[in-house]
Amino acid sequence: MSNVNWLTTLGLLPLLGALFVAFLPKTNALAAKRAAFATTLIVAAAGIAMATQFQRDNVDLQFVESHSWIPTFGINYAVGVDGIALVLILLSVLLAPIVVLAGWNEASGGRWSAKTFYILILILETMMIGVFAATDVFLFYVFFEAMLVPVYFLIGGFGSGKRSAAAVKFLLYSLFGGLLMLASIIALYVISGEQGGHTFDTTALSHLQISHTTQNFLFLGFFIAFAIKAPLWPFHTWLPDAADAATPGTSVLLLGVLDKVGTFGMIRYCLTLFPDATKTFTPVIIVLAVISIIYGAFLAIGQTDFKRLIAFTSISHFGFITMGIFAMTTQGQSGATLYMFNHGFSTAALFLVAGWMTSRRGSSKIADFGGLQRVTPVMAWVFFFAGMSSLALPGLSSFVSEFLVLVGTYTRYPVAAIVGTFGIVLAALYILIPIQRSLHGPVMPGNEGLTDLNVREKVAIAPVVAIILVLGFYPAPLLNVINPTVTHVLTINGHTDPAPSIAKAGK
Amino acid sequence: MTSNYLVYLIALPLLGSALLLFAGRKADKWGHLLGTAMSGGAFVIGLYEFSQMLGRSTEQRAVTQKLFSWISVGSFQVDAGLMLDQLSICFVLLITGVGTLIHIYSIAYMSHDLDRRRFFAYLNLFIAAMLLLVLGDSYLNLYVGWEGVGLASYLLIGFWNQKPTYATAAKKAFVANRVGDMGLSLAIMIAFATLGTVSFAGVKEQASQASTGALTAIGIMLLVAATGKSAQFPLQAWLGDAMAGPTPVSALIHAATMVTAGVYLITRSNFIFDAAPTAQLCVAIIGAITLLFGAIIGTAKDDIKKALAASTMSQIGYMVLGAGLGPAGYAFAIMHLLTHGFFKAGMFLGAGSVMHGMDDEVNMRRYGGLSKFMPITFATFGLGYLAIIGVPPFAGFYSKDKIIEVAFNAGGIKGITLGCAALLGAAITAFYMTRVVILTFAGSKRWDDKAHPHESPVLMWLPMALLAIGSVASGFIFTRGNSLKNWLAPVVEQSPVHEGELLKPEVVSVLALVLVLLGVGLAVVKYLRKEIPLVAPTNVSIFTRIARRDLLQDDFNEAVFMKTGQKLTKALVVTDKSIIDGAVRGVAKLVQGSGSALRTTQTGFVRSYAMWILIGAIGLVAAIWVVTL
């Protein structure tokens, strides 16, 4: 099977689907939906097939392809995945069909036709695969920026409320980060020219000898772009607005996948290209991460709107992920990577069910709900389950990743881990307060007639629930893929796990 | 030794729970039977394992079962593994035995509830989680059960959550427990960072090499966890509100089993506490404070369930105190835990039986003279009462007196202080429990004619009767030939109790009995000889008022934590909008000002985007051109 160009095939499939949808008549929304759903299903199947071919103990990039693209500047179309990228591509291709099915009628309130909506979604899927697969920094940058375009139109064209303003805020924020990263990329290109030949190849760039000061600047260029994307406090304010305005499906892709480009980029680019600068900035970043955890949680508690609340919980969760990455221990970083995957499904569950609640009630204000457990028991259960996943209840997938991050951080930065652990109490509050208000108590006027989940919605959410449950008890399939890559990254950075203190004491 | 059956202990009730939840309304007819059968099945497996255990020599008794590798990252290796030893079998039999009785009771108690099936699903979930808690072979496995029982407790406290106060009670319990869970999380992190392992066997083996400081830290964090789960000071405030749950829940979760998990955790971690005297002392102090705290609250409650809840808090205080006394006390802490499991569960079921006959009335001032109408309930409750106040030869006499005795003999001022606290607690216990019995069963009727008190059906009184047998006999059985102490010895590595160092057992028993009689007498004078007003008198001393307000526990929490938290949240929300996002908007305005042509309409946005891309591209090309020149 090694002669199959897995990644290119995977990336092209959604694009072909988009092309197909483009030729469908504008009036036939159903055909567009079906075609889009079929495409995402095929891509998901192909993604799983690819994953089975992945050699998990091989730390080299796999499914590698490289073709000269712009030879003048040494830019290649070069793709390949390590364990981390593979997991994130899997996340993308698994979430896509769920989002399409769950948000079957999402396009109806839009500025443009349903056809356009699904073309944008499919293009976005190609971009998501590309951004994780790219091994040429310039190619990565192209995907990183190009990805903004479909999201911009998805928010601005199909969202609700202040959708235009939110879309612009998202775009400008991301572009600003992108420009900083571009500057760093160009500098890397220049330096590579000085040291034996211009290149954008990630592996080659990681062997460059870069002075400490230069590293610091270049690191920051990348890091700020990623911190905006992730988002990390204090670069987070675009996210609640975007999540508020976007359709639930778009929000799932935005928070579930796109934001992971930030944390993925931190590992792939910041850590591997600039080990010295990483050392310099780690303390600051750990502090920012801890602030994100606590700050995001408090802000979530203070929200009165479901969508904004979920957005802030994500800011808290991204704090955990970032803390895990920069703890520079295998537990921290494997936990963080697993967290990226788990958070995708956890947030998907939350956003989708919040979306269903919102579209039924015509409001996303928490205060407009009450007593749903009696009216729509299945929907209430799914929401409760999603909430438990978000507060990392043991037995669910998010617990494994959150605990790994905490324990991995504790071995190197105990204070950060201790403060971060307060996040689990705050999580109980930001989940249980809205659950009580919306599901418990007497049935709120205006909620009596709400309908429970239909078959389509149940089918869409079932795999999410199943994945959250199964990975909670058996995370090995993912950890086995992630662990070797993480160990490799940490070796590049010259880190080994701290030994237990009894061993250090030499007793 | 390994056993292949341990997993079924957990799997049966877990399966029951899943089936009942997924089957929906279709299972309404038989759901309760399935739930009871699953719990009963687990009890049978427990009995089988116990009989196997008895047949093996002392060193061979513990069995393990490794299911699969759960989490494996670097040196952090945690198996999904189970372990059944002399300590956990006590819990397994208690959980599944009392649990099954309460399932049976609930068939009748919940028969009019539309959601009885869901109730049994939650009960099964609880049994499964609680069994995982006591069977897990590492702190992390225990943690899964630990939060699992918290979830079940939350669901059951809020079973009637259409009533907002009940929903709030459920949330309060969950949050208070999460504060405790934070302690458990940190204990596990410290254990891993210090010892490189989180399994019980591993920690036990490595503990001797660790510094006292590290062990003290782990111990204190475990204590924090225990205070949350076991409603010990200062995380005790949720237990009284938890009485919002249906009464069988109060009996099973909030009296007999879940709330004793903290005692299990401390006893299980004896190898840590024995090597960290400071942490161990803290355990004893927390236990002593709570046993008095709960007892005092118990004297002021008119709600029968809340009075029993306060009593539970107090009795667990005894257990924690016992566990805090180290090797001399572990076995007695567990013994009191088991006897308490019988008599308190029995009394809670009795309270449920009374409520069942009294139209769900819980105010004892509206009871009175019920012994005539509910003779079986009265008899079983009465036996539980004699057990809890420690009248020989009932169960509590053996277990509680032993804890008091060990406390006195702990040495020095510590021993005298803890011993006196425990002794005083016994007197107060006798007082408030006598008050409960008098207000409920004795005196004249104070209910209105709408209530028609009657004895409960056999499905309800049979479990009560069986538990009453336990209240009578268990203490005697456990102490005969030191059976329980010797049984647990391999787990808790006890040292011989220095009997008679300060007070001989007989002296303690006599002292305790005198105080108990005093307490009983005082209650008789105060409540049997006088008319009981239907409404609690308000012209009472400040102390009574404080006791009625649960010693101001909620006032304190609200003033210190809730209000502060709410203010902080509000401040942060404002900060986020005005300062952080404000700064961003400020920058945006600045940019806008310099290029205002690029804005305001939708097309303007697109144009501005295109503009940025263009600038980027030009910049890029220019840069590359300069470089390659």
Express the helix, strand and coil content of chain A in percent, nearest 5 each: 75, 5, 20
Chain A interface includes B67 (CB < 8 A): no
Per DSSP, what are the bridge partners of residue B76?
B73
| CB-facing half-sphere around the CA of B100: CA atoms within 13 A | 20
pLDDT confidence tier of residue B359, bands split at 50, 70 and 90? confident
pLDDT at position B601 is: 42
Predicted confidence (pLDDT) at residue B333 exceeds the cutoff of 70: yes
pTM: 0.93
pLDDT tens string A29-42? 899 999 999 999 99
| Residues of chain B neighbouring A167 (CB-CB closer than 8 A) | 605
Those of residues 345-404 in B touching chain A at CB distance below 8 A are none
Q: Is the ipTM of this complex over 0.90?
A: yes
d(CA B126, CA B111): 20
B168 touches chain A (CB under 8 A): yes
B555 contact partners, CB below 8 Å, separation of at least 6: B549
3-class DSSP state of B534: coil
CA dihedral of residues B586, B588, B591, B592 (deg, nearest 10): -100
Inter-residue contact A434 to A308 (CB < 8 Å) = no
pLDDT (average), residues B258-272: 96
Can you tell me the distance from the alpha carbon of A399 to that of A404, in angstroms, rounded to the nearest whole number?
Answer: 8
The answer to whether the Cβ–Cβ distance between B190 and A505 falls below 8 Å is no
Contact at 8 Å (CB) between A233 and A288? yes
pLDDT of A506 higher than 70: no
pLDDT of residue A494: 87
Which residues does A447 contact at the CB level (< 8 Å), separation at least 6?
A361, A369, A370, A371, A372, A375
Name the B residues in 528-567 with CB < 8 Å from any A CB.
565
Contacts of B143 in chain A (CB under 8 A): 394
DSSP assigned state of B526:
I
| Whether B616 and A179 lie within 8 Å, measured CB to CB | yes
Alpha-carbon gap, residue B208 to A505, rounded angstroms:
13
Tokens representing B478 are 């456990």
In DSSP notation, B208-242 reads GGS-HHHHHHHHHHHHHHHHHHTT-TTS-THHHHG
Answer whether A298 sits within 8 Å of B568, measured CB to CB: yes
Minimal C-alpha gap between B1 and chain A (Å)? 25
Cβ atoms within 10 Å, residue B19: 16
Name B574's Cβ contacts closer than 8 Å, sequence gap at least 6: none
Please, what is the end-to-end C-alpha distance for chain B in angstroms? Answer: 76
Tell me the C-alpha distance between B318 and B325, whole Å.
11
- Asked if residue B502 has pLDDT above 80, the reply is no
Residue of chain A whose Cα is closest to the Cα of B77:
A331
C-alpha B245: how far from chain center: 14
- Give backbone dihedrals phi and psi of A134, rounded to 5 degrees, phi first: -60, 135
Residues of B in contact with A198 (CB under 8 A): 627-628
Q: Is A476 exposed, middle or buried (0-12, 13-18, 19+ CB in 10 A)?
A: middle
Q: What are phi and psi of B111, to 5 degrees?
A: -60, -25
- What separation in angstroms does the CA of B376 have from each of A400, B388, B468? 50, 18, 11
Residue A11 scores a pLDDT above 90: yes
Angle between the N-to-C axes of helices A148-158 and B602-628, in degrees from 0 to 180, rounded to the nearest 10: 170
Residues in chain B: 629
**Neighbouring C-alpha atoms within 13 Å toward the C-beta of A187:** 21
Distance CA B150, CA B8 (A): 22
pLDDT in tens, A124-154: 999 999 999 999 999 999 999 889 889 988 9
Mean pLDDT of B351-361: 90
Cβ neighbors of A390 (< 8 A, separation 6 or more) are A313, A317, A346, A347, A350, A398, A427, A431
pLDDT in tens, B197-246: 999 999 999 998 999 999 999 999 999 999 999 999 999 999 999 999 99
pLDDT band with cut points at 50, 70 and 90 for residue B593: low
Query: Contacts of residue A152 in chain B, CB cutoff 8 Å?
Result: 609
The model's pLDDT over A212-268, given as tens digits with 9 standing for 90+, comes to 999 999 999 999 999 999 999 889 999 999 999 999 999 999 999 999 999 999 999
Interatomic CA distance for residues A209 and A193, integer angstroms? 12
Instruction: Give the mutation candidate from A176, A403, A419, A490 for the B interface (greatest B CB count, under 10 A).
Output: A403
Task: Give the contacts of B460 (CB within 8 A, at least 6 positions apart).
Answer: B105, B108, B109, B349, B352, B353, B356
3-state secondary structure A60-77: CCEEEEEEEEEHHHCEEE
